[in-house]
Amino acid sequence: MTGFNGFSINNDYLSGAHIYISGVNSLNSDTIESGATASLTNSGVTIGVNLYGQMTLDSGSWAVGGSVASGGVMDVKNGSIAYNAGIASGGTVNVDSTATISGASVQSGGTLNINSGATLADYTTSGSSTVTTVGSGGTLTVANGGTLSGTVQLADGATMTIPTSAGGTIDLQGNTNVGLIISGTGSVNTVISGFDGTSAGQSDGITLASVQAADVTNVSYPDDNHVTFTLKDGSSVELNIVGVTGFGYNLVADANGDLVYEVCFLAGSMIRTPHGDVNVEDIRMGDEVIAYVDGQQITRKVTWAGKAHGTVRPDLADDEAGYPVRILKDAIATGVPYKDMLITPEHCLFFDGKFVPARMLVNGVSVFYDKSITSYDYYHVETEQHSVIVADGMLTESYLDTGNRQAFRQEGSVVRLCGASRSWEDDAAAPLCVEQAFVEPIFRAIENRAGNVEGAQVATVSPQLTTDPDLYLITETGQIIRNARVCGKNVMFMLPAGVKNVQIVSRVSRPSDAVGPFLDDRRKLGVLIGKVTLLDGNKMCDVTSHLEGSDLTGWYAQDQASNRWTNGKALLPLDNRKPYSFGMLSVEVLAAGPYVMACESQLHAQIA
């Protein structure tokens, strides 16, 4: 180990070197190569150091300027401060409890972690304030208990994850910035500025990682700078977004949840009125539209018209990403629709007295996701009662306010005071039907005529399927255990001594991908597990932890008391094992697959 009682300037410390800096001593413009380490304590200082190895700041030490290069790791601890550090691709800075980092620049591929009790702050020197920037491709993570006390500029293409209690200000750069992820529920005390969603091609997005979009029951605006999402369990999430009431807004869940898709038309859709077909964007409150009740044509007054903006999330599955559905002219029947129709995936079409979401009819040929459109305005038209109306010659639905009205800007100058939210069960003009027995015949009829539709897309090759789950276990130490044998539905695994829990790992696939979009199950399913038994030494016992823990990692909610689906990587605790004994674990697999081979690696990555 090398210690200093003075200053080190412009030295190059090679692999194997260990540098110790204490008190008033410092490193100045030195280079710490890969494999070398530097430890600073008792207010030691580095200035302009290039770090390829590892550096630890402890007990009130400082690092001023310099860069953390590829492979470099800087740990900032116990009251120490890192000031104006540049974090290059492959470089990492970890800021721990009571430590502070200020004015960092996180470049593409760089990582900054703000751990519990640590602070990311703005410091003011010579009258100017430092601002932390996260460049495109960079990552900044603030753990629970970590704090932002200044401003972070988040570039388009960067990623930042914060808890609701982080504080500070985040300035979203660019017009399609979807890199901010917020975990937890409650009021988010971070101010979000730079949010832009006012026109096509200019929409930022915020991911709420702890919220299932299906759990949102209401969206409201307490004031011009706050939006509140109320959830089924009565809890809520409130965001502080500067000027949020001026924007259309889409709630986005993470890859384990669902997007919120409001029922709407895209610009250019033609709505039938007593005076002919009118562009949806020109419909206003007080106008009349044609509606159908019990097969009879009537007129109904428009009581509300709204507009919002959508931006595609191409990292998600097509039906969740937000791509609009294009229904080609004549795709349903001759003259239906009478021109290409563009609607959102959850928008419902009317067949035989029931509403069916457009996403369940996508065949990739005459009804498909239009991936040339990645940002768009969309519209709602609400009538006195929820109605069957005509758009582009196709029977479809008017808007039904189920609690998402506030996500839209009202069109027209007359303000409408809204009443209570409605529901599909009590207020819909016709039942919403997603049952395969009803939807699949409609899907097949549309599919069968697709080859004769002008503009039809080339049919894609059917995906390769397998029913082999490729089932194995992973222990808490990372050991992979393959099956010893298979007896009917039971898969047997030999367990080493000391293993107290395992993860059941398998292939994963969505039934809607493997079977068809007419099957309304978009869960990423692994295997359906029934009875689990453990022979431990000379004792046989049932393992029921997977049937008892409602929040057990990797398991879906139970459809039946005796079995449960995994998401492809499910935790199975093995309590009260005998010490030093080997065991045999028997896992009953009641259902597996089919799995889509093409998307297997992608889905495995999502659950890893």
238-297 per-position pLDDT tens digit: 889 887 765 555 554 444 453 232 334 566 788 899 999 998 888 888 899 999 888 889
Residue 489 CB partners (closer than 8 Å, separation 6+): 530, 588, 589, 590
Residue 245 CB partners (closer than 8 Å, separation 6+): 221, 223, 224, 225, 227
Q: Which amino acid is at 482?
A: R
Q: Nearest to residue 82, comparing CAs of 95, 101, 68, 99?
A: 101
| Structure-block tokens of residue 579 | 């010490």
Average pLDDT over residues 60-70: 92
Bridge partners (DSSP) of residue 62 are 45, 81
Bridge partners (DSSP) of residue 237 are 186, 229
Cβ contact 599:593 at 8 Å: no
CATH of 265-452, one of 3.90.79.10, 4.10.490.10, 2.170.16.10, 3.40.50.720: 2.170.16.10
Cβ contact 398:386 at 8 Å: yes
Q: How many CA atoms lie within 13 A of 136 on its CB side?
A: 6
Q: Which residues of 102-132 are buried (b: 16+ CB within 10 A; e: fewer)?
A: bbbbbbebbbbbbbeebbbbbbeeeeeebbb
Instruction: Supply the pLDDT for residue 37.
Output: 94
Q: Where in the chain is the domain with CATH 2.170.16.10?
A: 265-452
Q: How confident is the model at residue 106 (pLDDT cuts 50, 70, 90)?
A: confident
* pLDDT for residue 128 is more than 50: no
Cβ contact 148:171 at 8 Å: no
For residue 452, give Cα distances in angstroms to 246, 342, 366, 574: 45, 20, 9, 58
* pLDDT for residue 605 is more than 50: no
Distance CA 344, CA 376 (A): 10
Instruction: Supply the pLDDT for residue 442.
Output: 97
Name the phi and psi angles at 57, rounded to 5: -100, 125
Q: What is the largest CA-CA distance in the chain?
A: 94
Output DSSP code: residue 606.
Answer: H
Q: What is the pLDDT of residues 319-361, one digit of tens each?
A: 888 888 999 999 999 999 999 998 888 888 999 999 999 999 9
* pLDDT for residue 307 is more than 90: no
End-to-end CA distance of the chain: 40
Instruction: Supply the pLDDT for residue 510.
Output: 93
Distance CA 292, CA 7 (A): 86
The helix/strand/coil state of 202 is: strand
Task: Write down the mean pLDDT value for the chain.
Answer: 82
Cβ atoms < 10 Å from Cβ of 451: 10
Of the candidate ranges 210-224, 383-397, 548-562, the one whose mean pLDDT is the lowest = 210-224
Q: What is the pLDDT of residues 149-192, one digit of tens each?
A: 778 888 888 888 888 888 888 988 877 777 888 888 888 999 99
* pLDDT for residue 409 is more than 90: no
Residue 309, burial from CB neighbour count under 10 angstroms (0-12, 13-18, 19+): buried
Cβ contact 399:384 at 8 Å: no
* pLDDT for residue 202 is more than 60: no
Helices of type H across 219-377: 318-321
Cβ atoms < 10 Å from Cβ of 483: 15
Of the candidate ranges 62-66, 344-348, 490-494, 561-565, the one whose mean pLDDT is the lowest = 344-348
Instruction: Supply the pLDDT for residue 436.
Output: 96
Instruction: Supply the pLDDT for residue 247.
Output: 57
Q: Nearest to residue 281, comparing CAs of 176, 408, 370?
A: 408
Cβ atoms < 10 Å from Cβ of 233: 9
Of the candidate ranges 111-120, 242-251, 394-403, the one whose mean pLDDT is the lowest = 242-251
| Structure-block tokens of residue 263 | 């029922």
Identify the residue with better confidence: 159 or 493.
493
* pLDDT for residue 31 is more than 90: yes
Q: What is the pLDDT of residues 412-428, one digit of tens each?
A: 333 333 333 445 566 67
CA angle, 273 then 279 then 285, to 5°: 65
| Structure-block tokens of residue 57 | 């700041």
Name the phi and psi angles at 142, rounded to 5: -110, 120
Distance CA 345, CA 312 (A): 12
| Structure-block tokens of residue 303 | 């009581």
The helix/strand/coil state of 393 is: coil
Average pLDDT over residues 67-82: 93
Q: Which residues of 196-232 are buried (b: 16+ CB within 10 A; e: fewer)?
A: bbeeeeebbbbbbbbbebeebbebeeeeebbbebbbe
Q: What is the pLDDT of residues 437-486, one digit of tens each?
A: 999 999 999 999 998 999 898 887 788 999 999 999 999 999 999 999 99
Q: What is the pLDDT of residues 545-557, one digit of tens each?
A: 999 877 889 999 8
Distance CA 72, CA 40 (A): 16
Expressed in percent and rounded to 5, the helix, strand and coil fractions of the chain are 10, 45, 50
Distance CA 70, CA 297 (A): 69
Distance CA 460, CA 540 (A): 51
